[in-house]
Amino acid sequence: MSSDTQIFIDSINTNKVKKLISIGSSLKICLVAEGEADIYPRLGRTMEWDTAAAHAIINEAGASIEEYANKGQYKLRYNKKILLNKWLYVES
């Protein structure tokens, strides 16, 4: 986990218990899609192939996956010249 991720987690003001799960990015995205998690911030490196299938699943679940720095403005994009994703944010 990056220090940026820890800062993000610490900043969440909630009465819910915060639970951290150590599995791959696509599986964490699927946890949000099935309602087992509320959010997934990925403030680190992923490649398009790490997120593409889970992105389709999250879309069908009616949730969103977006660029973290531009939440609410830019959905995660694919088929870029450089296949590295920007930081991302998944929310139910």
Residue-wise pLDDT tens digits, 19-31: 888 999 999 999 9
Q: Taking 90 as the threshold, does the pLDDT of residue 85 lie above it?
A: yes
Q: Taking 80 as the threshold, does the pLDDT of residue 89 lie above it?
A: yes
Mean predicted lDDT score pLDDT of the chain? 91
Question: What residue has token string 């593409």?
Answer: 52
Domain boundaries along the sequence of the chain: 3-91
- Higher-confidence residue: 74 or 14? 14
d(CA 92, CA 61): 8
Write down the CATH number for the domain with range 3-91.
Answer: 3.40.190.80
What is the per-residue pLDDT for 71? 78
What is the pLDDT averaged over residues 42-62?
Answer: 94
Q: Taking 90 as the threshold, does the pLDDT of residue 73 lie above it?
A: no
Which own/partner pairs from 53-61 qualify as long-range (CB within 8 Å, at least 24 positions apart)? 53/26, 54/25, 54/26, 54/27, 54/29, 54/30, 55/29, 57/29, 57/30, 57/33, 58/29, 58/30, 58/32, 58/33, 58/90, 60/33, 61/32, 61/33, 61/34, 61/92
